[in-house]
């Protein structure tokens, strides 16, 4: 009985906590998500997943809260991809790789960076940013 | 045209071709400043003071003004979601009834929810080590459900609230078995 209940509790929490990388919390102006071949309009409350790309128009901004409480926001005329997102809500271990191809990005790092300092990296076309528990902004300019 | 001038022009063209980036570390809401390590090929720059900035093509770290950050990143920063908030509510021993103090604390939880357009809420119930573990699994889940019921009652959509019961597995204050510890009889509410 105890074993059964433990399994039920475990599978419940795993299903509840590990499903999505994060959730869209803020949207203004035009923005969409490229997911595989689909192009989805961005709405508040929409989940984001590994391999999603968020693209904003000239008037668009998007804010996302991730499972580990990392906060990211994407400025106008930007393209941002979630390359990898893994987070264990029990141990706080994880991996978060993302790429800003163009535009602006603001980041407030979350729990996984506190657990292991090299867990979160932001890539741009010519650099890799390793994040050690901080707030920062990035801008990529296309020449 | 002298060879040197041509060489400089070619070098500039290489540096400025393709995308370039700039990275600036900001002080966090509580004033803390962490570190960003910027790796470009073989070179590495470490940013660990407020407004320290790394630009592609520049060997030196520079410091920019808060105003410059606002003018470049103001729209992105404005779109940052509200920081997640965590609350602890405590229970009368052996029950799913909140202590009087924690009933008052519920107001803070509600105001955190009202400042968010579409909050998502995680309620995790816990117990102390009095009683057997199976009963405590049930009691912790019941505590979480009771708090969820209250939140639904004041208008938070049920599908935005997830609950879990952790029994006596995650004691806030470590104790032996069968110890009546008020601080372990709690639910943790995460509002995001």
**For B40-76, how does the pLDDT look when each residue is reduced to its tens digit (9 = 90+)?**
999 999 999 999 999 998 989 999 999 999 999 999 9
| Shortest CA distance from A16: residue in chain B | B162
With respect to residue A65, please indicate whether it lies within any of the assigned structural domains: yes
Structure confidence at residue B115 (pLDDT): 87
- One domain, residues B165 and B137: yes
Q: How far is CA B139 from CA A34, B80, B132, in A?
A: 44, 37, 11
Q: What pLDDT score was predicted for residue B15?
A: 52
Cα angle A91, A15, A22 (rounded to 5 degrees) comes to 75
Query: Is B164 found in the same domain as B71?
Result: no
In the DSSP assignment, the letter for residue A7 is H
Residue B7 in domain: no
Q: Do B102 and B172 fall into the same domain?
A: yes
Contact with chain B for residue A130, Cβ under 8 A: yes
Range of the domain at B125: 85-191
Window 2-61 of A: residues touching B by CB (8 A cutoff) are 2, 5-6, 9, 12-13, 16-17, 23, 25-26, 28, 44-45, 61
Which residues are within 8 A (CB) of B64 and not within 5 positions of it... i.e. 6 or more apart? B24, B51, B53
Alpha carbon distance B36, B45 (integer Å):
8
3-state secondary structure of B56: coil
The answer to pTM > 0.95 is no
Q: Are residues B64 and B110 in the same domain?
A: no
Mutate to test the interface with A, among B13, B20, B21, B44 (most CBs of A within 10 A): B21
Residue A15: predicted pLDDT: 38
Identify how many contiguous H helices and E strands chain A contains and give both numbers.
2, 12
A1 within some domain: no
Query: Within a domain: residue A35?
Result: yes
**Cβ atoms within 10 A of the Cβ of A83, count?**
16
Same domain for B48 and B97, yes or no, is no
More confident residue, B110 or A16: B110
Q: Where are the beta strands (DSSP E) in A38-126?
A: 38-41, 47-48, 53-56, 61-66, 71-74, 79-87, 94-108, 120-124
**Is B89 in the same domain as B159?**
yes
Give residues with Cβ within 8 angstroms of A61, minimum separation 6: A26, A27, A28, A29, A31, A73, A74, A75, A76, B75, B76, B78, B79
Which band of pLDDT confidence, cut at 50, 70 and 90, is reported for residue B16? low
Chain A residues within 8 A of B162 when measuring between CB atoms: 16
Mean of all residue pLDDT scores within chain B: 91
What's the alpha-carbon Rg for chain A, to the nearest Å? 16
Q: Is residue A13 part of a domain?
A: no
Q: How many domains does chain B have?
A: 2
B165 lies in the same domain as B182: yes
* The predicted structure's pLDDT at residue B146: 95
CA distance B187 to B123: 6
Q: Which CATH number characterizes residue B151's domain?
A: 3.30.1330.60
- Which residues numbered 79-98 in A keep a CB inside 8 Å of some CB on B? none
| Locus of tokens 């040197």 | B4
For residue B29, name the pLDDT band (cuts at 50, 70, 90). Answer: confident
B14 pLDDT higher than 60: no
Residue ranges of chain A whose pLDDT lies below 50? 1-18
Distances (CA, A) of A53 to A70, A71, B30: 17, 16, 31
Q: Are residues B29 and B119 in the same domain?
A: no
Among B44, B78, B112, which residue terminates a domain? B78
Min distance B32 CA to chain A CA atoms (Å): 8
Q: Which residues pair with B164 in a beta bridge?
A: B124
Identify the domain boundary among B59, B78, B97: B78
Instruction: Show residues of chain A in contact with B165, CB under 8 Å.
Output: 9
Q: Are residues B97 and B44 in the same domain?
A: no
B74 with B93, same domain: the answer is: no
CB contact under 8 A, B21 and A126: yes
Query: Does residue B12 fall inside a structural domain?
Result: no
Q: Kindly state whether residues B35 and B115 are assigned to the same domain.
A: no
Q: What is the mean pLDDT of residues B146-156?
A: 92
Mean pLDDT of B28-45: 92
Nearest to B164 among A12, A61, A63 (CB): A12
Q: Which residue has the higher pLDDT, B17 or A119?
A: A119
CATH of the domain at A76: 2.60.120
Percent over 90 (pLDDT), chain B: 76
- Tell me whether residue A14 is in a domain: no
pLDDT score for B7: 62
Last residue of a domain, one of B34, B52, B78: B78
Q: Choose the closest CB to A65 out of B73, B81, B137.
A: B81
Residue B73 has a pLDDT of: 98
What range defines the domain where residue A126 resides? 20-140
The larger pLDDT score, comparing residue B116 to residue A60, is at A60
- Rounded Cα distance between A85 and A67, Å, is 9
Helix/strand/coil percent split, chain A, to 5: 15, 50, 35
Residue A102 lies in a domain: yes
Residue A9 in domain: no
* Residue A117 pLDDT: 79
Query: Would you place residue B107 in the very low, low, confident or very high pLDDT band (cuts 50, 70, 90)?
Result: confident
Q: How many domains does chain A have?
A: 1
């Amino acid at each position: 009985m105890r074993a059964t209940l433990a399994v039920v509790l475990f599978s419940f929490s795993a299903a509840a906590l590990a499903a999505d990388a994060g959730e869209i919390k803020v949207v203004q102006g035009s923005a969409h998500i490229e997911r595989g071949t689909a192009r989805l309009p961005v709405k508040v409350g929409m989940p984001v997943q590994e391999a999603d790309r968020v693209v904003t128009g000239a008037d668009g901004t998007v804010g996302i809260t991730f499972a580990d409480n990392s906060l990211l926001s994407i400025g106008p005329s930007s393209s941002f991809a979630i390359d990898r997102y893994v987070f264990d809500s029990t141990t706080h271990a994880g991996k978060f790789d993302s790429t800003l191809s163009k535009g602006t990005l603001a980041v407030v790092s979350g729990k996984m960076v506190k657990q292991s300092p090299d867990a979160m990296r932001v890539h741009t076309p010519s650099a890799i940013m390793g994040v050690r528990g901080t707030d920062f902004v990035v801008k990529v300019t296309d020449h | 045209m002298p060879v040197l001038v041509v060489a400089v022009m070619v070098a500039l063209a290489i540096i400025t071709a393709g995308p370039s980036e700039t990275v600036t570390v900001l002080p966090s809401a509580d004033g803390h400043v962490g570190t960003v390590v910027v790796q470009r090929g073989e070179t590495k720059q470490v940013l660990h003071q407020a407004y320290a900035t790394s630009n592609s093509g520049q060997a030196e770290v520079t410091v920019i003004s808060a105003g410059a950050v606002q003018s470049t990143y103001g729209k992105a920063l404005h779109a940052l979601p509200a920081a997640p908030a965590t609350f602890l509510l405590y229970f009368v021993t052996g029950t799913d009834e909140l202590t009087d103090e924690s009933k008052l604390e519920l107001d803070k939880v509600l105001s955190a929810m009202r400042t968010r357009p579409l909050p998502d809420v995680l309620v995790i119930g816990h117990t102390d080590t009095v009683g057997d573990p199976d009963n405590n699994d049930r009691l912790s889940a019941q505590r979480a459900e009771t708090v969820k019921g209250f939140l639904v009652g004041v208008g938070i959509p049920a599908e935005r609230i997830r609950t879990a019961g952790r029994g006596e597995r995650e004691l806030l204050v470590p104790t032996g078995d069968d110890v009546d510890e008020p601080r372990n009889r709690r639910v943790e509410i995460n509002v995001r």
